[in-house]
Amino acid sequence: MVMYGIKIKSDILFPFHTPEDISFKNIIKLSKHKNTSIEIQITSGLKLYESHGRNVYLYSDREVNCAVIDQPWCYEVENIVKFYWVGGESIIYYELDEKADTYLLGFWFMHLLLPLYMTFEKMYDFLHAGAVEVEEKPILFIAPSMGGKSTLTDYFLQQGHSLVSDDKVATYIDDGNFMAMGSFPYHRPYRRFEDLGYYAQNFMQESKPIYAMYELCRSTSDALVSIEEIYGYEKFDTLLPNYLYIFPWLKKERFTYLSKMLNSVKVFRVTVPWNMERLDEVYEAICTHTNYLT
């Protein structure tokens, strides 16, 4: 299976669909935990966050203030799974809790562990955004939590557009272009813990240059739908809160990366009436704007 443009070789069969016949950049192996030497090296850690009703912890052999070659890691999901890996290596080990199952293992591996691992391994930079294709061009929807990006992403999918990512967009630079890589073909236009959501029949199967970003700004139900370009430092202020995993040791290079991205990719603010019956207006406005954008 291929996720985030990475071919995953696993010793278990996950109970969901993932693309097989698309190109990939790297190969990662997922295997049952046998390497006790990693576990022995783990000496410190911290609570990383709470997600999907569970505490998530990150451990290493030192304070979590860097990510370097040969550094051992453990990512623990409370009562579900522990993932182990060593910096610079392409194998991830899992230790499944007896109360968990392969669906939960797959959910946490695909949705949360892989983006963190790929960030530490400097494969991608991730933005917290929904993304679809319009005329085969990736566009991103940015909004705070409960800001409508999943709902709008789902509406585009219902109109036949291809999914790029429901929640986390993997980006990287290729020949001066800022690229978006498809994540995996599931989207979740609702709030339900530990659920990948609906399978997307149309899925972007190769990386492509990011065409535009749209910040969704909630307004009154009777507001006019409008789109305006964001310029200068305001672009940076708009994107920075939606940048995933800005650990202290990553801040300098992440700020540099984001600054370069915003010099290359246009960002727009969309006034979104908070009225489900007017989603079609927002959809039509963004499609029209994207088609005429140069």
- For residue range 158-189, list pLDDT tens digits in order: 999 999 999 999 999 999 999 999 999 999 98
- For residue range 243-282, list pLDDT tens digits in order: 888 888 988 888 899 999 999 999 999 999 999 999 999 9
pTM of the model: 0.94
126 in Cβ contact with 244 (< 8 Å): yes
Ramachandran angles phi, psi of 92, nearest 5°: -120, 130
Q: Report pLDDT for 22.
A: 77
The pLDDT of 58-77, averaged and rounded, is 94
Give Cα 91 distance to the centre of its chain.
Answer: 20
Q: In this structure, what token pair is assigned to residue 287?
A: 């499609």
pLDDT value at 95 more than 80: yes
Give Cα 164 distance to the centre of its chain.
Answer: 10
Q: Report pLDDT for 13.
A: 87
- Between 149-158 and 279-292, two packed helices, what is the crossing angle to 10 degrees? 80
- For residue range 18-34, list pLDDT tens digits in order: 876 777 888 999 999 87
Strand (E) or helix (H) holding 136: none
Q: What's the mean pLDDT when you consider all of the chain?
A: 92
Domain ranges of the chain: 2-123, 127-292
Q: Report pLDDT for 82.
A: 96
110 exposed, middle or buried (CB, 10 Å; 0-12, 13-18, 19+)? buried
Q: Report pLDDT for 245.
A: 84
Beta-ladder partners of 86: 72
> Quick check: helix, strand or coil at residue 216?
strand
The pLDDT of 142-149, averaged and rounded, is 85
The pLDDT of 205-217, averaged and rounded, is 95
The band of 1, judged by pLDDT with boundaries at 50, 70 and 90, is confident
The verdict on domain 127-292 having CATH code 3.40.50.300 is yes
